[in-house]
Amino acid sequence: IVLTQSPVALSLSPGERATLSCRASQSVGTYLAWYQQKRGQAPSLLIYDASNRATGIPPRFSGSGSETDFTLTISSLEPEDFAVYYCQQRANWPLTFGPGTKVDIK
Amino acid sequence: EVQLLESGGGLVQPGGSLRLSCAASGFTFSNYAMTWVRQAPGKGLEWVSLLGGAGGATYYADSVKGRFTVSRDNSKNTLYLQMNSLRDDDTAAYYCAKALMTDSVRAFDHWGRGTLVTVSS
């Protein structure tokens, strides 16, 4: 399953809303996760099963969608949210990641 | 506190072999599936392999199938990745990560810091 993320990059200011998209080449149900990766760090889990926040993730992060279309929304960007975001499906083997969306400071 | 610490990376010539280790602590290691994910310099994440908690089912990306072997020693709380016939495009940081839940591979909630593998002559 191929995951496509859009946009490739997003330039926003702190306090603005970020909307990131992940599209699957075939249905993955709700078997989709979102990860954040800051420069020089390992990825960290944000959302699993399309809409469940992982432990310790603040409510400004939310996930939605099913089948082939998914969205990660950051309601009001904090300075620490500028990073690269990846989606990942676990519906079929092999597991796959999307190419990522970079959110940087405008 | 869950901790994952990868080791074993380094410089290896094309065609060579390397074994990565991932030492786990802070959770019941044998109960969780574990995975390897890699990231080439400046690139995105690529899933490599996964091994079930009981050491049963194994899964591989097509790009490494037949060359890499994942294994675990639950008595040592350690995950391994044996990498043979290494190629230039295997150059990457290799991360190990823990499955979120014991009963299924929903996502990966804890990651190590990674170990760098460089394949070059």
What would the pLDDT profile of A28-41 be if each residue is shown by its tens digit? Answer: 999 999 999 999 99
pLDDT confidence of residue A67: 97
What would the pLDDT profile of A17-70 be if each residue is shown by its tens digit? Answer: 999 999 999 999 999 999 999 999 999 999 999 999 999 999 999 999 999 999
Question: Of chain B residues 90-109, which have a CB less than 8 A from chain A?
Answer: 95, 97, 100, 105-109
| Structure token digits, residue B82 | 């044996």
pLDDT confidence of residue B49: 97
- Give the span between the Cα atoms of B52 and B50, in whole angstroms: 7
Shortest CA gap A76–chain B (Å): 24
Share of chain A above pLDDT 90, in %: 99
Q: How many helices (H) and strands (E) does chain B have?
A: 0, 11
| Structure token digits, residue A79 | 């300075």
Q: A100: which residues sit within 8 A by CB, 6+ positions away?
A: A5, A37, A84, A85, A86, B44, B45
pLDDT confidence of residue B106: 84
What would the pLDDT profile of B59-118 be if each residue is shown by its tens digit? Answer: 999 999 999 999 999 999 999 999 999 999 999 999 999 999 988 888 999 999 999 999
- Give the span between the Cα atoms of A9 and A88, in whole angstroms: 18
Name the region of B106 (left: φ>0; alpha: ψ -120 to 50; beta: rest).
alpha
pLDDT confidence of residue B55: 64
Shortest CA gap B47–chain A (Å): 6
- Name the CA dihedral angle for B24, B26, B28, B33, rounded to a multiple of 10 degrees: -50
Task: Give the residue among A5, A34, A38, A91 at the shortest CA–CA distance from B109.
Answer: A34
Sort B62 into a burial class: Cβ within 10 Å, 0-12 / 13-18 / 19+. exposed
What would the pLDDT profile of B35-50 be if each residue is shown by its tens digit? Answer: 999 999 999 999 999 9
Q: Which residue has the tokens 């995105």?
A: B44
pLDDT confidence of residue B56: 75
Q: What confidence category does residue B53 fall into, taking pLDDT thresholds of 50, 70 and 90?
A: confident
**B3, B32, B45: best to mutate for the A interface, most A CBs within 10 A:** B45
pLDDT confidence of residue A100: 98
pLDDT confidence of residue A97: 98
